[in-house]
Structure 1
């Protein structure tokens, strides 16, 4: 009976260590790494919109993208494609500068 309890304790310990490892990895990838990157960019003088915890700036990017949808002229080709594909970059440049 005591050996069965030891085996169960070892299994639970291994599972707990695995879950804690996954949680630490998620915290590192979703919170610590982006915070470090933002810190480096701020030190270089590059500001930007504050991101949300999980989604980052994706909701704001989608909102700007959908509000800037213009009907494209199929006969007109221009080489300034960045504002049409990434309108949020142009807006953030106006708001925060470079």
Structure 2
């Protein structure tokens, strides 16, 4: 079961991508990754991994911490239907 993001916490781009999410069909490239709740916090966010089948353009601040994590949250901008997932590098 995929939990949809709350519409009060995401914009139109986030709501648009929510309907395109599906459970992973095999090994996920981010298995084992952790996501922090915010810069300087020890709290880890619960993440539900989904099938990497949609390319989403995001806005990010370039600031990173010593571990290479973004210091500020990425904000969804728009779905890139013109870009295939296979064209994207795996981090």
| Range class of TM-score, shorter chain | under 0.3
TM-score of the superposition, structure 2-length normalised? 0.23
TM-score of the superposition, structure 1-length normalised? 0.22
